[in-house]
Amino acid sequence: MKRFLLLLLFGFSLLALETFRLPNGMKIILINRNIPSVFLTVFYRAGSSFDPEGERGLSYLTAMMSLTGTRRSAPWEQIFFLERVGGNLEVKIDRDFVVFKSYFPRGEFPLALWYEHERMKSLNISEDFFARERKRLGQEVGGMLMDEDARIDKIVKSFLYSDSPYADFPLGTPEELQKIPLEHVKNFHRKFFQPRTALMVIIGAMRPKERNLILKMFSPIKSRPVIFPEKIEFPTRAVDRKLMVRGLNHRVYALCYRVSSPSCTRRVFLELVRLYLQRALAGEKVKRGLRGDFEVKVHHLIYSSSLCVVVKGKSLAPWESSLQKIFTRLKTSPPGKSVLTGLKLSLIRSIREQEIDPSLWGEVLGKYNLVFRCTEGEVLGGVSNFSPSSFWETVRKVFYPFNRVRLILLPGNP
């Protein structure tokens, strides 16, 4: 019965999803849902891994400047419009993508789409305005870098992806942001914020009228040649390191696995492992009365994925012991069919719920997207195709032997 439900959901997803590409290279995904709002997400393959040496934060600065006006719109006009009609706009800058996520009442679709069209077509920023905004954004980034979670994430990434653009903090540093001139921002926008690098995902009541409006508005925009950076290669070797970090308020234990060249199926697999570890650690915490907090995260990038278990607490030894027990159990006596079925249904439920939340849909269609080729249907298909034997065999291949970075992070004065 549960397997039938998986296949049924997979079939419905395919029927409700339409994918096409405009002549200028822009890819469109329409997900037809009879809901009162429209969720519009635009991905540009223009993340921080594209930042030139010495100008980290250029992608972030360009993305934020694209909100400050075009030739036919005033600074922050799109944000004011969306707030006035009960919508919202969120900008996310990652290592592979810059993402603009918005939602609004479906009656406002033409004007909301026009603002996205304007952002792609042009920037209109004066030198004085740019200097003020650059200073303000630099101060914001400086504040973010003081956050403990951001510092931990930065340290973990530097070990996972050392000597690659993925190791850097995606927003750059205040010092580097202040050195970036306006001309470099304009050049970066012309090069990467264009149809050839864009993927637009729209969730809502998509009728022929809306489809024709998309074609009419975005087809005339000219695309420009772009050469993406070469594929980032990561050596597969085990690394075991301990590090003393000053200024943290907690003792932190981080166990991280890097998986190179991920496919869509591999990403689904890692999400299932994350769910399993989340549940197993929660059970260990209750059973053994462990004190502290833990988080199991999966980071999906175009050329690599990673799974990280991060624990904060005063005493880390019991947590480390619990993790060793969980992985030993996975290796010697893997759980049965019912456990995997429960994990698969939980993952599908999570994906289905994200249909009406733009801030999370970006994660699914952006992070599961291997150069814009992985759709919701492929994700659901990947979930349904995992059998207990293939899943646990993949666990052994990926996690034994370890492609591992193991960190012990301590305060300066423990």
CATH number, domain of 213, equals: 3.30.830.10
Q: Is residue 223 domain-resident?
A: no
Q: Which residue has the tokens 């508005």?
A: 217
8-22, 123-137, 307-321, 360-374, range with the lowest pLDDT? 360-374
Q: Highest-confidence range of 33-37, 94-98, 285-289, by mean pLDDT?
A: 285-289
Dist CA 56 CA 175 (whole Å): 10
In this prediction, residue 87 carries a pLDDT of: 94
Residues 179 and 244 in one domain: no
- 164 and 48 in one domain? yes
Distance in angstroms (rounded) separating the CA atoms of residues 361 and 203: 9
- H-run or E-run covering 31: strand 27-32
Do 193 and 338 share a structural domain? Answer: no
Same domain, yes or no, for 389 and 357? yes
Peptide bond before residue 401 is cis, with ω within 30 degrees of 0 = yes
Average confidence score pLDDT of the chain: 82
In this predicted model, what pLDDT tens digit does every residue of 351-380 receive, in sequence order?
Answer: 666 553 433 444 444 444 444 456 666 777
pTM for the complete prediction?
0.82
């004011």: which residue's tokens?
80
**84 and 36 housed in the same domain:** yes
Among 3-12, 117-126, 185-194, the range scoring the smallest mean pLDDT is: 3-12
Asked whether the predicted pLDDT for residue 12 surpasses 70, the reply is: no
Structure tokens at 23: 């002549």
Q: What number of other Cβ atoms are within 10 A of residue 125's Cβ?
A: 18
| Domain coverage including residue 146 | 14-218
Residues 6+ apart with CB under 8 A from 382: 264, 265, 267, 268, 269
296 and 190 in a single domain? The answer is no
Q: Which has the closest alpha carbon to 42: 366, 411, 383? A: 366
Is 365 found in the same domain as 285? yes
Q: How many domains does the chain have?
A: 2
Task: Single out the residue of 326, 249, 342, 315 nearest to residue 280, CA to CA.
Answer: 326
Q: Which residue has the tokens 């000053």?
A: 246
Amino acid at 181: P
267 and 346 co-located in one domain? yes
Question: What is the pairing mode between strands 98-105 and 88-93?
Answer: antiparallel
Q: What is the pLDDT confidence band of residue 237, given thresholds at 50, 70 and 90?
A: low
Same domain, 143 and 95: yes
Contact assessment for residue 65 and residue 135, using Cβ atoms and an 8 Å cutoff: no
137 is a domain residue: yes
- Rounded Cα distance, 96 and 84, in Å: 32
Interatomic CA distance for residues 360 and 41, integer angstroms: 10
- Residue 283: how many CB atoms within 10 A of its CB? 12
Give the type of residue at 119.
Answer: R
Q: Can you tell me the distance from the alpha carbon of 269 to that of 338, in angstroms, rounded to the nearest whole number?
A: 16
- Report the first-to-last Cα separation within the chain, whole angstroms: 54
On whether residue 178 sits in a domain, the answer given is: yes
Q: Can you give the pLDDT at residue 269?
A: 86
* Rounded average pLDDT over 399-411: 71
Q: Which residue has the higher pLDDT, 70 or 22?
A: 22
Return the higher-pLDDT residue of 412 and 294: 294
Alpha helices in 38-76 (DSSP H): 58-65
Residue 230 included in any domain: no
Overall average pLDDT of the 183-190 stretch: 93
C-beta of residue 82 within 8 angstroms of C-beta of residue 88: yes
User: Residue 41 is inside which H or E element, if any?
Assistant: strand 37-44
- Taking the C-alpha atoms of residue 284 and residue 273, their distance in angstroms, rounded to an integer, is 16
Cα–Cα distance, 68 to 75 (Å, whole number): 4
Which tens digit of pLDDT belongs to each residue from 133-173?
A: 999 999 999 998 888 888 888 888 888 887 788 888 889 99
Please state which of the ranges 38-52, 132-146, 155-169, 204-218 shows the lowest mean pLDDT.
155-169
Nearest to 57 by CA among 221, 149, 158, 180: 180
Chain-centre distance of CA 280, in angstroms?
Answer: 25
* Res. 235: pLDDT tops 50: yes
**Rounded to whole angstroms, how far apart are CA atoms 253 and 239?**
15
Same domain? 258 vs 211 = no
209's torsion region: left (phi>0), alpha (psi -120 to 50) or beta?
A: alpha
Reported confidence tier of residue 81, pLDDT bands at 50, 70, 90: very high
The two structure tokens encoding residue 353: 């719920």
- Residue 4 domain-assigned (yes or no): no
Phi, psi of 250 (to 5 degrees): -130, 160
268 lies in the same domain as 183 = no
Contact criterion met (CB below 8 Å) for 117 and 105: no
Percent of the chain with pLDDT strictly greater than 70: 84
- Mean pLDDT of the 198-206 span: 89
Do 280 and 141 belong together in one domain?
no
Other CB atoms within a 10 A radius of the CB of residue 64 amount to 20
Question: Which residue reads 């003081």 in tokens?
Answer: 146
Pick from 100-114, 291-305, 320-334, 355-369 the range whose average pLDDT is largest: 100-114
> What type of residue is 398?
V
Give dist(CA 342, CA 185) in Å, integer: 48
